[in-house]
Amino acid sequence: MSAVILPAGSAGAGAKLHVTRWLPEGPPRAIMLLAHGYAEHAGRYGHVAKRLTDAGYAVYAIDHWGHGRSDGIPGFVPRFSVFTDGMAELLALVEVNHPGAPRLLLGHSMGGLIGTLFLIERQQAFVAAALSGPAIVPGAPPSRFTIWISRFLSRFFPRLGVLALDANGVSRDPAVVAAYLADPLVYTGKVGARLGKEFMDAMAAAQAGAPKIALPILLQHGEGDSLASVEGSQYLFDHVSSADKLLKIYPGLFHEIYNEPEQGAVLGDLVGWFDAHVKPEAAT
């Protein structure tokens, strides 16, 4: 475990972001950059990383600004760009530690939104990507009043809590929900006004920039997801320019498809997708 530091010019300049990495026993076939979801942290993906390292992949993840063990304020963000800035620093670390190795991107929920924006900017750094339950489209289109009030609150009361997430939407497995609520590194407070406004702006930017994405991409979404609309994955599938793309919607599954009872099959689809896009001899 280590840390990366956001550079001057970032809205979070000087902040230390906690890095977790999981390595396979032998030389990695490729290096995966993982972007976790809102309010959680990279440590919740140990079982996902186990499936990936068993398949020969190395996994690198940061706790985003304001999340987990990283610096920042939970529920608040100065600019949404601090999240993509963090991914850029993680990419730089991977380039130093594994020069020339193929790279993959995996993003879940808000991490799927971050990953989408990052691909719009830097897709040439990756050979393939996968997004799980990406938060791309609001569950209901915001009214003009909602947009106005969100911008007002963001400007004058940026840390005011405006929205709480329902933890019961995380998984159909009660043990997963209980562990989520008991995890001291999971933030269970409200989304601040500034983050809510930045989130909406980021969604709009992801929708507008989606046609720029042309690399192989897998979209996975639970049909019963109440936290991130399945329409977001459908939107990306319909609008990215990728000739090689796949949308898999899992009937009945909730938001965290890698933490559902069917996780074995879902993770099998994920590993199979990357296996199909990384050459066996790509180890470095």
Count of other CB atoms within 10 angstroms of residue 226: 15
SS3 103: strand
Task: Please check whether residue 55 is in contact with residue 64, taking contact to mean a CB–CB distance below 8 angstroms.
Answer: no
Q: Sign of dihedral through CA atoms 37, 43, 44, 49?
A: positive
How many whole angstroms separate alpha carbon 280 and alpha carbon 35?
25
* Block residue for tokens 């979209």: 219
Among 85, 225, 242, 277, the active-site one is 225
The answer to whether residue 225 is catalytic is yes
**Helix, coil or strand: residue 207:** helix
Active site residue 238: no
255 labelled catalytic: yes
Query: Tokens in use for 269?
Result: 């689809």
Catalytic residue among 10, 70, 81, 109: 109
For strand 245-250 and strand 217-222, is the pairing parallel, antiparallel, or unpaired? parallel
Q: Which residues pair with 248 in a beta bridge?
A: 220
Distance, in Å, from the CA atom of 33 to the CA atom of 108, rounded to the nearest integer, reads: 12
The neighbouring-strand residues paired with 62 are 19
**Enzyme catalytic residues:** 109, 225, 255
